[in-house]
């Protein structure tokens, strides 16, 4: 049994299911970047129609994800799901059923021109794909966004050094959520954002012991948030 259960209010929201399927089909039909030559072939990668108020946003699909049509299905995905398991979300199957997993851009951008790894999506690609992510977020109304990697973190928190972000929790826009602070207005009026480094082996950020300690702290914060979201809706968050 998955240790994370969607809170009753979210489970009762049956409406977004069909709308999410329709949105996914519109995204799959998108050829914006292909039509202007930014990528050779558009093959958008999307999760199943998981109606969840917890949304994980990565950078872009990799070559293997383009083939499997499943987000985070490669080596970086195995590391990511190890992290999520450490945070209390169970194994990969349980995490995929509990969290809506998507990305800033939906198609494989191609290999990097220099060195190894994948090419970072260009600002033009990010801008062209942004309406798709906006629609996903508008439909799901997430309580918590797990932003994985610098590109995703910048989308929600602006451009800031990762050293200043990982291990902390923020409101969308950049205001830090301190432990136990009351939520103003509606309990879930704004999404919380928990930044994580990218799990790709190409990232060297985790080579430093201090950064690995920050990751461990972030997973602890994530576990506490998951437990809070799985319980009754309250006016304060236990995210110590």
Q: What pLDDT sits at residue 10?
A: 38
Whole-angstrom distance, CA of residue 140 vs CA of residue 16:
7
Average pLDDT in the 85-104 region?
96
For the stretch 47-82, pLDDT in tens is 988 999 999 999 999 999 999 999 999 899 999 999
Whole-angstrom distance, CA of residue 187 vs CA of residue 175:
16
Confidence (pTM): 0.87
Instruction: Give, as one character, the DSSP assignment of residue 206.
Output: G
| Structure tokens, 233 | 């809706």
Residues 142, 148, 151, 153: is their CA dihedral positive or negative? Answer: positive
Q: What pLDDT sits at residue 4?
A: 36
- Identify the structural domains of the chain with CATH numbers, from first to last: 8-230 (3.40.470.10)
DSSP string, 135-199: HHHHHH--SEEEEESHHHHHHHH-S--GGGTTT--EETTS-B--TTPBPPSSTTSS-EEEEE---
């Amino acid at each position: 049994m998955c240790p994370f259960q969607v809170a009753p209010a979210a489970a009762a929201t049956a409406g977004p299911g069909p709308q999410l399927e329709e949105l996914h089909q519109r995204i799959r039909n998108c050829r914006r970047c292909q039509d202007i030559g930014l990528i050779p072939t558009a093959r958008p990668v999307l999760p199943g129609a998981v109606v969840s108020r917890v949304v994980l946003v990565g950078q872009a699909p990799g070559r293997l994800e383009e083939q499997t049509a499943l987000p985070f299905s490669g080596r970086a995905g195995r590391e990511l799901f190890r992290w999520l398991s450490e945070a209390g979300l169970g194994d990969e199957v349980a995490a995929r059923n509990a969290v809506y997993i998507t990305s800033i851009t939906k198609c494989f951008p191609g290999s990097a021109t220099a060195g190894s790894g994948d090419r970072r999506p260009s600002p033009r690609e990010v801008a062209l794909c942004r309406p798709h992510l906006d629609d996903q977020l508008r439909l799901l109304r997430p309580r918590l966004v797990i932003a994985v990697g610098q590109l995703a973190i910048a989308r929600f928190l602006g451009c800031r050094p990762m050293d200043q972000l990982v291990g902390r929790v923020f409101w969308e826009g950049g205001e830090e959520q301190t432990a136990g602070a009351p939520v103003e207005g509606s309990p879930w009026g704004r999404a919380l954002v928990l930044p994580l480094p990218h799990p790709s082996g190409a990232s060297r950020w985790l080579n430093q012991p201090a950064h690995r300690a920050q990751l461990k702290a972030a997973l602890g914060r994530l576990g506490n948030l998951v437990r809070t979201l799985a319980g009754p809706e309250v006016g304060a968050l236990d995210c110590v």
